[in-house]
Amino acid sequence: MPLKLERIKEGQRVIHGAFPRYAEYNCAMKYMAEHGFHNVKFVMPPPLTKRTEEIGARYSPDYVCTPFKTLLGSLIEALEAGADTLVMVHGYCRLGYYGELMEQILRDQGYEFDFINLSEYDTWKKRDWLKVIRRIDPKLNIPKFVQAARETIRMMEHLDEVTSDYYQICGFDATGGEVRRAYRRFLAALYTADSGEDIEGAYKRVKQDFQTIPLNKPDRPLQVGILGEFYTVMDAFSNLHLEQKLADMGVEVHRWMNMTHHLLHYGEVKNLAPKIRDQCEYTMGPTSTANIWYAKACAEHGYDGLIHVKSANCTPEIDIMPVLQNISADYKIPTLYLTYDSQTSDVGLMTRLEAFYDMIETRKRALS
Amino acid sequence: MILMRDRRPEGLTVGIPQGLLYHRYSVLWSAFFKGLGITPVYSGPTSRKVLEEGAGVEVDETCLSAKIYMGHVKALIGRCDYIFVPRVDTFGHFRDMCVRFQALYDQCRNLFRSTGQKFLTYNVDGEFGITEEMAFLELGQSLGFSKGEVKKAYAAAKKEEQRAWREKLKAQEPLLKAGGTKILLSGHSYVLDDPYVGKPITDFLRSIDVTAIRADVVNRELALKKSVELSPTCKWEVSRELLGGIALYRDQVDGIILVSAFPCGPDAMVNELLTRKLKDIPLLNLVLDAQSGAAGVETRLESFVDIIRLKKGAL
Ligand code: SF4
Ligand code: SF4
C-alpha cells in the first residue's frame, strides 16, 4: 500500500523495515507492518533465488542449518533493496540464536542498520512483545494495531487454507493451467491488499475459482503427506518446489505443517501428544509432536506415501527419523527422506521423486 | 507407597552408557543408584568399535557424540534390567540443553525397539518447573522406592557430586598459575573427556609441554553471568558455561582451542561468533569427526602451539 506519509508527524523517522523471505508469508508481514504502525514502510526483499542462497552461504558458518543461510541471504538482499531496520524472530531450537549471529555477520560485512532481535526481549513472559511494539512505534494507535493484527491473522489463515487446497487439486486441472493462474492471482491480491475487504474478496474469489474450474480427478488418486522442518517444508524455493513437482506428477499433496496450524492455533491441537504415546513419551523437539502425529495420521488414513523434509544439519528433525522409520514399518507406508542444502540439485530431486512415485504407484496398483 | 515398596525388584541393575551427559554427571548418577542399592553397569570406555557400532545404528547425519553414545547403549543391550537415558530439556530461562537431549530417550527406545530392552529416564524441564531433584524423585519412585529413600539417596549423591566438583576446580588453580605455554580448551565435556576422541588432544598437548586449562572447569554460576559479555542471547547452558569460562580465563592463557564434534548444532553458531569476536588472542577451531585421524589433529595442534611460542619469543 502507498504509505500515508501525511500522517507521519514532523521529525519522526519512517522505518524502512524488512523481514527475510519466508514462503509466501511476507504479504502478511507487509500488511501488518504498514497497517499496524503509522511509521513503517515494509521493504519487500526480492524473491529467493540461487544468488540469495549463495551470498547467505558465503558468510555463514559451514554446518549451520540451511535456513540460517537462506534467511541471511535474504536479509542482505533486503538491505540492498533499501531496508534500514531488520527484524529477526525468536524461537525454539537454533532459531533463537539466529538473530545475534546474523547481526554480527552483517556488521562485520560493514552494513549499517537497526536490528530488532526478538530474542533480546524474551523473558518467558506474555507481554514481552509489547516492548518491541513500543520500540518500533512509541505513539502506537492501539485499536488500529489490533484491527491490523486481526486482518493479518485472517490473511495467514486464508493463505494456508488456499495453499493446502491448491496442492490437492492442481495436479488434476482439466483446463491446462486455470488452477495455477487462480492461485497466482490470489497471491498477487494478498501482496497488494490494502484493507480487510481486499483480503476477504481475494479469498472468496479463489475459493469460487477452485470450485468451478473443471478437474479430472480419479476417485482415489495417489495421496502423499508432507511433513518436516518448519522452514524448509513450507518454503517452496527452499524445498525446490517439492509440492508442485509432486502435483505435476498427478499426486494429491497434503501438508499439515503451516503457520495456521503450528503457530496460530497450536493451542487447539495440544492434545496431539497423547495420540502418539506408543511412538514417544516426551516432546522430542520443537515440531516433533506435530510431525510424528501427522505421519501416523496419514498412515492411518491410508495415504500412499510420506515425505519427510528437512534442511541439512537440522538436529530435531534428524532425531525423529527413527520414530518415522518405525511408523513406516508398522503401517507399511513408504517414506522418502529429503535433506536440503544449497548444493541440492533440481535434477537429483527429480530423480528421487520419480523413483518414489513409481514405487508408490506400483504398490497402489498391486494392493487394489 | 507401601504397595509400591513391595514392587521393588531385588538386585536391580541399571546400565549407564558412558557417553554424552555421563561425563557431566558420572558422580551424581553412580552415587544415586548405589545409594538405592542398585548396581550400575557401565558400558566401558569409548573405542573405535563403540563408535562404529553407534554409527551403524544412528541416523547418518547426527553428531559424532550421539553416534558414540549409541555405541555405548548398544554395548549395554541385554546386560541390565534398564538402560538409563536422561531427558534434559531446559534448566530454566535461557538455560536450554541442545535439542538432542530432549529427544535422546525416545530416540533410544525407537532405535532399539526390536531388542525388547527396557529404558529408564529422568526428565528435567524447567519450562514446566521440573527441577533435577523432582526428576530424580520421579525416577526413584517409578522403580518402587519411597519418597524418603529417594530424597535421601539424591541428597547424598548431590553432596558427593559437589565435593568432586570442588576438587576438580581446585585442581585447576595451580595450572592457571603455571609458567610455560598455557592453552584454554573449550568444548563439551563429552568431547574433551572422551577417551577415544578428546583425551588424545590433552595427551598430545602435555607431550609438547603445554598446560591445558579447561573452560568448563569454572564456577558455573559466575560463568553463566559472564557469558552475556561475549554473547547476550546465547541460551544453551553448556555453551554459556564455556563462554563464561573463556571470558574469565582468557587473560591467563596464551591461546584458545575450540573443540567441537561434527556437526554440532550449538557449536556451529557459537564458535562462529567467538571466532568473529576474539580477535586479540590466537584461536584454533578443531572440528572432530569419525574420520579425523590422530596424525592430522596432532599436526594442527603442533603448528598452533608453534605460532603461539613464536609470538611469545619462546621459539
Ligand atoms: S529446527 Fe532445524 S532448521 Fe530450525 S533452527 Fe532447529 S536445527 Fe535449524
Ligand atoms: S550439543 Fe552438539 S555435540 Fe552435543 S548433542 Fe548437541 S549437537 Fe551433539
Q: Which of B262, B259, B196, B197 is nearest to B63 (CA)?
A: B262
Over 80: is that where the pLDDT of A189 sits? yes
- Contact: A313, B268; criterion CB under 8 Å: yes
Instruction: List, for residues A228-284, the tens digit of each pLDDT value.
Output: 999 999 999 999 999 999 999 999 999 999 999 988 887 665 688 989 999 999 999
The reported pTM is 0.94
Model ipTM? 0.94
- Pairwise CB contact (< 8 Å): B106 & A326: no
A33 Cα to the center of ligand 1, angstroms: 26
Contact B272 A318 (CB under 8 A): no
Pick the CATH number of B13-162 from 2.40.390, 3.40.50, 2.60.40, 3.30.70: 3.40.50
Q: Is the dihedral of CA B186, B188, B193, B195 positive or negative?
A: negative
**CATH architecture assignment, domain B178-312:** 3-Layer(aba) Sandwich (3.40)
Give the closest residue (by CA) to ligand 2 atom 6: B98
Which segments of chain B have a pLDDT < 70? 1-9, 314-315
Question: Nearest-5° angle of CA B146, CA B152, CA B155?
Answer: 135
Beta bridge partners, B39, equal: B13
Q: Does any ligand 2 atom lie closer than 6 A to the CB of residue B265? A: yes
Q: What is the pLDDT averaged over residues A80-88? A: 96
- Nearest chain A residue to B264 by CA distance is A63
Q: Domain residue spans in chain B?
A: 13-162, 178-312
Verify whether the Cβ–Cβ distance A119 to B233 is below 8 Å: yes
pLDDT of residue A90: 86
pLDDT tens-place string over residues A292-349:
999 999 999 999 999 999 999 999 999 999 999 999 999 999 999 999 998 899 999 9
Q: Which of A97, A320, A325 sits opposite B103 (nearest CB)?
A: A320
Surface of B (158-217) touching A: CB under 8 A: none
| pLDDT value for A9 | 53
Phi, psi of A315 (to 5 degrees): -55, -55
Cell of A335: 517414506
Which contiguous run of DSSP H or E holds residue A363? Answer: helix A346-367
**Residue of chain B whose Cα is closest to the Cα of A118:** B233
B65 CB within 6 A, ligand 2: yes
User: What is the rounded radius of gyration, in angstroms, for the C-alpha atoms of chain A?
Assistant: 21
Q: In the CATH hierarchy, which top-level class contains the domain A5-140?
A: alpha beta
- pLDDT, position B9: 63
Domain extent listing, chain A: 5-140, 148-217, 220-368
CATH code assigned to A220-368: 3.40.50.11900
Same topology between domain B13-162 and domain B178-312 = yes
Q: Looking at the DSSP assignment, which residues form a beta bridge with residue B15?
A: B41, B83
